[in-house]
Each structure stands twice: as C-alpha cells, then as structure tokens.
C-alpha cells in the first residue's frame, strides 16, 4: 500500500449549495500520495446525492456517511479513518487555495509536527482580507510559545490552516470534544501543542474562508457567553504559560491582560444586537478586568 502523506478531512452537513466548490478545490490539486476523506454528518438536504456523484471517481477519495453528531463528531470520524502522516481539515463551506498543496507539501520535509499557514477571508459583499505568516521554523514548541506570547499573531485558533502530524494526535489519544459547540477547535490545538515538538509557520495561504450567510455565533443569543469565553481564555493561558520557557513575568502578564481585554471587547460588541446579554455579562467583565488590573475605557 502506498504511504499516504496527508489526509484532508472535510466534515459536511447540509452543504449542498457549496460542497462541490469545496471538494473540487481539494481534488483538483490532490496528488496520488494524499487522500481526501469526506464525512457526511447526517445531512438532510441534497448533500448525500451530491456526494454519490463523486463516489468511485478517485482512488484516494473516501466518502463516509454517519449519523448526525456535529462537526466535531464528523472530524473525529475522519481522524479514525485517516491513513496520512499528517492530517488537515477544511470546512465544507470553505475552499483550499489554488496551488496550495504544491507549495506546502514539500515543507513537510522539515520534520515539524505542526505547520501553520495563512488565511484569506471573503465576506458576503465580496470584500476580504488575507492574514499572512512569516516563514519561520521553531525547533521546539517552547520557542513557539515564547514567540506567541510576545507577538500574539500566529493564527492558532482555527483547525483549517494547519497540518498536524497524525502520530502526535494518536499518541495523545486526541479527538475533538463533541460536547463543546464553541471553541472546540482552540481546545484541540492547545492539547496538540502540549504534545508536539517542532513547529513551522509558513507564508502560503491555505484556507479561503467564505462567508456564506449572516448566521453565526454573533447572530444568536448565547447564555453564559462571557463565562464560556473566560474558560477558553484560561485554557489558552494554561497552555502557553506551561509551554513557554523564555518569557518574563512581565511578558506573561501583558499577554494575559491583552487577551482578557480582547475577549471583553468582543463580548461587549454583542450587546447592541443582544441587549439581554449586557445585564448578565457586564458585571462579570468588570470583575475580570479588575482582578487582572486591566482598564477598559468603555465600561
């Protein structure tokens, strides 16, 4: 059996309108030593019929049909089936950048456990932006954590701009938390970092994030929003403070306060659309900022 270099995992759920664009963006550049695994998460529209038209068209295309478990469950099913030395994720309503694999696959010869790439965001009105990363190799995860604490700009949240060494995933028995519907990608990344070695950031842009609708976490009321955000904030601090070996107490405190202030700002930005959240969350924000001795001019 041919050694598989990379497994690209695409979870799908009711993605009939945009799925072909996503799959074609991968298949048109997928070499024979890589595989595409599509996991349908119990779709109820025409997604399964669309996937049927792809079945058997490529030896390195695998389509799995599962009961509905959510995006995390579909990603986990993809990981269970993956054979690649590395795993990557692409959401069904996004696309892989044209020519990305040709640029990125040779980088795997560096021997890093984690590769992080740039992201292009395309909004409904056609405008967008690109977040680039520098080409930089970190010999160990501690030096990566040091740099992140100092720069805060290494695109660690998303699962869809990374190549993960799959042996690290399996050694950690790592899967996505299917009981979490907010921030599960961050938690996966934090756990992966704690078990990985060398990390590389790279200038190629991997993901084209396509905004398909105004429906998102920001468009619905979320009870306990700031408590959930603070749980993710603490997980981030726990991860990076544990990994970092070269930062000072002052750098760590600045990092903590910066992240806390950002989360407070994002929470307060929700109040105009969800005024019911202000009464619940504003006292918590004030208490958190006071505990962190972080001032905010708007509260």
- Cβ within 8 Å of residue 93, ≥6 positions away: 15, 18, 22, 210, 212
Q: In total, how many domains does the chain have?
A: 2
pLDDT at 63: 98
Report how far residue 63's alpha carbon sits from residue 54's, in angstroms, rounded to the nearest whole number. 8
Q: Which residue intervals of the chain are DSSP H helices?
A: 19-27, 47-52, 70-81, 100-104, 141-151, 166-171, 184-193, 225-243, 249-268, 276-291
Task: Write the pLDDT tens digit of every residue in 113-160.
Answer: 999 999 998 877 778 899 999 999 999 999 999 999 999 999 999 999
Secondary structure of residue 34 in the 3-state scheme: strand
Q: Is there a domain that residue 276 lies in?
A: yes
pLDDT at 293: 62
pLDDT at 196: 97
Q: Is there a domain that residue 299 lies in?
A: no
pLDDT at 17: 93
Same structural domain, 170 and 31: yes
Q: Which residue, among 12, 6, 9, 8, has the nearest Cα to 65 in the 3D structure?
A: 12
pLDDT at 128: 84
Which CATH number covers residue 39? 3.90.550.10
Task: Mark which of 213, 241, 259 sits at the end of a domain.
Answer: 213
Looking from the CA of 26 toward its CB, the CA atoms found within 13 Å total 30
Write b or e for each residue in 221-253: b if 16 or more Cβ atoms lie within 10 A of its Cβ, otherwise e: ebeebbebbbebbeebbebbeebbeebeeeeee
Same structural domain, 181 and 39: yes
pLDDT at 295: 57
Task: Mark which of 213, 247, 275 sits at the end of a domain.
Answer: 213
Same structural domain, 96 and 232: no
pLDDT at 218: 54
Q: Is there a domain that residue 110 lies in?
A: yes
Q: Is there a domain that residue 255 lies in?
A: yes
Same structural domain, 176 and 196: yes
Report how far residue 152's alpha carbon sits from residue 260's, in angstroms, rounded to the nearest whole number. 13
Same structural domain, 287 and 145: no
Q: Is there a domain that residue 259 lies in?
A: yes
Same structural domain, 158 and 266: no
**Kind and range of the H or E run holding 202:** strand 199-210
Task: Write the pLDDT tens digit of every residue in 257-276.
Answer: 999 999 999 999 999 999 99
Same structural domain, 167 and 237: no
Write b or e for each residue in 101-125: b if 16 or more Cβ atoms lie within 10 A of its Cβ, otherwise e: bebbbebbeeebbbbbbbbbebeee
Same structural domain, 30 and 112: yes
Provide the whole-model pTM.
0.93
Q: Is there a domain that residue 1 lies in?
A: no
Task: Mark which of 213, 247, 268 sits at the end of a domain.
Answer: 213
Q: Is there a domain that residue 165 lies in?
A: yes
Same structural domain, 188 and 230: no
Task: Give every residue of the chain whose pLDDT is below 50, as ranges.
Answer: none
Same structural domain, 30 and 157: yes
Same structural domain, 208 and 225: no
Same structural domain, 30 and 148: yes
pLDDT at 216: 53
Q: Is there a domain that residue 256 lies in?
A: yes
Q: Under a CB-based contact definition with an 8 Å cutoff, are residues 82 and 10 in contact?
A: no
> What residue numbers bound the domain in which 198 lies?
6-213
pLDDT at 292: 73
């Amino acid at each position: 059996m041919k050694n598989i270099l990379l497994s690209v995992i695409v979870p799908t759920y009711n993605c009939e309108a945009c799925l072909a664009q996503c799959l074609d963006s991968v298949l048109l550049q997928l070499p024979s030593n890589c595989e595409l695994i599509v996991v349908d998460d119990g779709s109820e529209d025409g997604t399964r019929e669309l996937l049927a038209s792809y079945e058997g068209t490529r030896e390195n295309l695998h389509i799995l049909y599962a009961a509905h478990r959510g995006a995390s469950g579909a990603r986990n099913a993809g990981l269970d089936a993956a054979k690649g030395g590395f795993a990557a994720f692409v959401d069904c309503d996004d696309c892989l950048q044209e020519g990305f694999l040709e640029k990125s696959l040779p980088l795997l010869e560096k021997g890093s456990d984690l590769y992080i790439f740039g992201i292009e965001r395309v909004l409904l009105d056609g405008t967008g932006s690109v977040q680039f990363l520098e080409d930089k190799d970190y010999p160990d995860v501690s030096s990566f954590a040091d740099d992140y604490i100092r720069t805060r700009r290494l695109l660690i949240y998303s699962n869809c701009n990374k190549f993960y060494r799959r042996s690290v995933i399996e050694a950690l028995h790592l899967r996505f938390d299917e009981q979490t519907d907010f921030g599960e990608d961050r938690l996966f990344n934090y756990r992966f970092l704690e078990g990985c070695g060398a990390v590389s950031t790279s200038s190629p842009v991997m993901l084209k994030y396509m905004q398909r609708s105004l429906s998102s976490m920001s468009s619905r009321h979320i009870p306990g929003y700031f408590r959930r955000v603070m749980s993710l904030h603490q997980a981030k601090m726990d991860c990076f403070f544990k990994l970092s070996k070269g930062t000072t107490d002052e750098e760590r405190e600045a990092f903590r306060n910066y992240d806390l202030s950002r989360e407070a700002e994002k929470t307060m930005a929700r109040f105009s659309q969800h005024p019911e959240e202000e009464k619940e969350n504003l006292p918590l924000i004030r208490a958190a900022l006071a505990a962190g001795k972080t001032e905010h001019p708007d509260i």
